[in-house]
Amino acid sequence: NNLISVITPAEKNEKYINIALESLKNQKYTNFEVLVLHSDIDALKRVVNDEYLDDDRYRFINTPADIYVGAARNIGLEEAKGDYVYFLDSDDYVSENILQLLHDNIGEFPIIRGRMKSTDFSTSFAIILPGTNKIKMYSDNRHDLLRTESSINYLISKKFIDSMNLRFSEQFKTYSDLTFMIPLMEEVEVIPYSYEAIYFRRRGNDPINNPSLRQSSLKQLAPDLFGVYNQLRTDDLSEEGQKYLDDKLLNFYRKRLVTEFKDDTTIGYYFAGLVESINKIDPDRLNNKDFILKNDVKAIKSNKINNFRKLSNFNHFLRDIKNGITSRKSRKELFYKRVFNNLDIKDNLVLFESFQGKAYSDSPKYIYEYMLKNKSNYKFVWIMNEPSKIPGNPETVKRFSLKYYYYLARAKYIVSNVRMPNKYIKRNEQSYLQTWHGTPLKRLAGDMDNVHMPGTNAERYKKNFNHETNKWDYLIAPNQYSAEIFRRAFWFNNTMLPTGYPRNDILTNQNDEETISRLKRINHIPTNKKVILYAPTWRDDEYFKVGKYKFNLKLDLHRLKEQSGDEYIVLLRMHYLVASNIDLTGLEDFAYDVSKYSDISELYLMSDILITDYSSVFFDYANLKRPILFFTYDIKKYQGQLRGFYIDMETELPGPLLMNNDDIMNAIENIDEVTKKYKERYNEFYERFCSWDDGRSSEKVVDAVFEK
Ligand code: C2G
């Protein structure tokens, strides 16, 4: 019965340490010790659960500050008393049979590996179905196991390590695992791999504020990779080892550096290191590689940076042309990048967009209308996918049309309420005003732990988001609460405009009978009944396809008609991302689908009661001080799994949480009582979220952003 030493460096991952330790506590194989390493071990112990502090199998070891993970693992190796060592990172966790399986199957081999799984759940433990413990043997192809570039999830004989005097190189922040694993692989012929022994790697951390090593900047990764490569890539290395390293270097060049070199000013930083490493590559390795790569390698080897820079620019030009020939979409992008972006900026040109060109609405609309009246020296262009009547008859362009790209490149000002496409290249002379589209209730961007939207994952989502927010020069904050959240969740360091929302100006300035009945008249909404507006949000995990979400109507409209049809009519307003059509047969003259109605602010004005859920609409609606009901039938799932909220729905909302149709019917029947009951909370809510909306928001924003 052998002792296993689990070595767990815990620097910067304090948040997850208890989960890692719990996964060890539950192990079927109990003869282990855990070496937890941290540079401030007392601070770490304060967050570790008592049960581990009281159990002497867990050893907490202080390390010097400012050492890299390789050095911490070396300290672990010195201290380990086990017959085997096993590296577990403190932000990951393992299945409860992992030590047992690895131990049972290592036999006479010096090393064995388990399987890796990525997860972005913070605590869940996957249930592993019982099955044959399939073992696969890696021999000539053992370097394939290093696709993860990692030393985690191997059970390794301690004697074997000691006999080789094997340690991690300590000078590299990233890639140090290879300095341990490559020499080790030289000394073994076969590595068994267990399919059933599962190690969970956490995804979904914030790649901007708290990057994992793998997510380090290219400025860190590239020199480290060159250094590790140079150290290991000797002539006595086996053919497999040499091939692994050469391919790693070439792939890194192709996948990461080539993209970086689109901006040719970055080349200088990497060039010397690149030359040194590329010179060591076996020329035969290039035989089956493409022509462009071969040419690049030749140019790098000649060590003339100016020649290489020219070649790199030319290659990017060729790639753009090649893409431009193959599709109309890329042809437009080619014009955008290579032609329009080289034309002068037009200083008086403002490009507006609301909800990706789907509507003439939201704060961009109100900023525009203010400018139309007060700034005659500007030219305005609206991004509109469908023809639409807009005051002042501005030029409109369809999103992703050639003209769209033209204006995207030439407008001095960009005003939008949602993210621009990733390919938007922000020019230095441009001013980008992001109005955003709501006070956040659901966790946003950098604050999200999990991402359950289709077609992306937490890391990619956050990186893309950060790429976007870096382009924002101005961001509007509707209230102090949002300003604080936006700074953090959007990684936003530019000018925050504490002005309230331009889209809410109308709620202060035109909350009068005349406007309301005029709006009702032009929209053919009966004026003799009261109006209930139902405006729910979208669900990340219910969708037809990327960007097209489903909505399952849970509100019983037939029952509502039965009960309150004499007094009320209902306006149904789906979120702009929802693509479901709602069936309203039998509900004529009672329920109206206003999902296509451009401006929700006008719907607010027309309605007497709002029903919503986790949508930011209630923060705006509260400006009107009219009753709000929350139809939160799926709050558990929504709050727990999908997003998480910034405020406590139970105690901070200006109205009741209603879980079923009975509650809804009841609340509507007794709306005056509900209003009375929530009066005080409503006032507090109003103070906190609506007090910046003073009817002059558009004016303040325009004064701050545009030339006098
Ligand atoms: N909206 C609408 N109709 C709905 C829901 C929302 O017109 N049925 C509009 C409102 O202007 C609302 C905005 O879209 O303020 C944002 O909607 P949310 O439901 O809050 O959802 P989301 O688009 O995810 O934005 O910081 C805000 C958050 O990012 C929420």
* Tens-digit pLDDT profile for residues 316-360: 998 888 888 888 888 899 999 999 999 999 999 999 999 999 999
What is the atom index within ligand 1 of the atom nearest the CA of 601?
Answer: 11
Taking the centre of ligand 1 as the mean of its atom positions, its distance from the CA of residue 559, in whole angstroms, is 27
Q: Which is nearest to 82 in space by CA: 102, 96, 63?
A: 102
Q: Which is nearest to 103 in space by CA: 139, 155, 181, 34?
A: 155
Taking the centre of ligand 1 as the mean of its atom positions, its distance from the CA of residue 631, in whole angstroms, is 16
Q: In this prediction, what percent of the chain has a pLDDT beyond 70?
A: 97
pLDDT of residue 328: 83
H/E element, 669: helix 661-669
Q: Is the CB of 617 under 6 A from ligand 1?
A: yes
> Exposed, middle or buried, 235 (CB in 10 Å: 0-12/13-18/19+)?
exposed
Beta strands in 290-445 (DSSP E): 346-353, 379-383, 395-397, 411-416, 431-434
What is the atom index within ligand 1 of the atom nearest the CA of 538?
Answer: 19
* Tens-digit pLDDT profile for residues 78-129: 999 999 999 999 999 999 999 999 999 999 999 999 999 887 654 445 555 5
User: Nearest residue CA, atom 5 of ligand 1?
Assistant: 575
pLDDT of residue 129: 58
Taking the centre of ligand 1 as the mean of its atom positions, its distance from the CA of residue 630, in whole angstroms, is 15
Token pair, residue 624, equals: 């009107």
What is the rounded average pLDDT of the residues 219-245? Answer: 97
Taking the centre of ligand 1 as the mean of its atom positions, its distance from the CA of residue 439, in whole angstroms, is 9
Cβ-based neighbours of 431, under 8 Å, separated by 6 or more? 412, 413, 414, 473, 474, 705
Q: How many CB atoms are located within 10 Å of the residue 561 CB?
A: 18
Taking the centre of ligand 1 as the mean of its atom positions, its distance from the CA of residue 362, in whole angstroms, is 10
* Tens-digit pLDDT profile for residues 253-264: 999 999 999 999
What is the atom index within ligand 1 of the atom nearest the CA of 537?
Answer: 19
Taking the centre of ligand 1 as the mean of its atom positions, its distance from the CA of residue 598, in whole angstroms, is 13
Residue 494 to residue 472: CA distance in whole angstroms: 7
Taking the centre of ligand 1 as the mean of its atom positions, its distance from the CA of residue 648, in whole angstroms, is 19
* Tens-digit pLDDT profile for residues 614-659: 999 999 999 999 999 999 999 988 877 666 889 999 999 999 999 9
Pocket perturbation via mutation, ligand 1, pick of 616, 623, 632, 643 by most ligand atoms within 8 A of CB: 616
What is the atom index within ligand 1 of the atom nearest the CA of 574?
Answer: 8
ipTM for the whole complex:
0.91
Q: Are β-strands 154-157 and 84-87 bridged in parallel, bridged antiparallel, or unpaired?
A: antiparallel
What is the atom index within ligand 1 of the atom nearest the CA of 603?
Answer: 7
* Tens-digit pLDDT profile for residues 66-92: 999 999 999 999 999 999 999 999 999
* Tens-digit pLDDT profile for residues 338-349: 999 999 999 999
pTM listed for this prediction = 0.82
Pick the range with the lowest mean pLDDT from 375-379, 557-561, 582-586, 665-669: 582-586
Q: Sorting pLDDT into bands at 50, 70 and 90, what band is 65?
A: very high
What is the rounded average pLDDT of the residues 445-461? Answer: 78
Q: Is the CB of 476 under 6 A from ligand 1?
A: no
Taking the centre of ligand 1 as the mean of its atom positions, its distance from the CA of residue 442, in whole angstroms, is 10
* Angle formed by the axes of helices 362-374 and 697-705, nearest 10°: 70
* Tens-digit pLDDT profile for residues 540-573: 777 777 778 888 899 999 999 999 999 999 999 9
Q: Is the CB of 503 under 6 A from ligand 1?
A: no
What is the rounded average pLDDT of the residues 17-39? Answer: 95
Q: Is the CB of 574 under 6 A from ligand 1?
A: yes
- Amino acid letter, 85: V
* Tens-digit pLDDT profile for residues 387-397: 889 999 999 99
- Mean pLDDT, the chain, rounded, equals 93
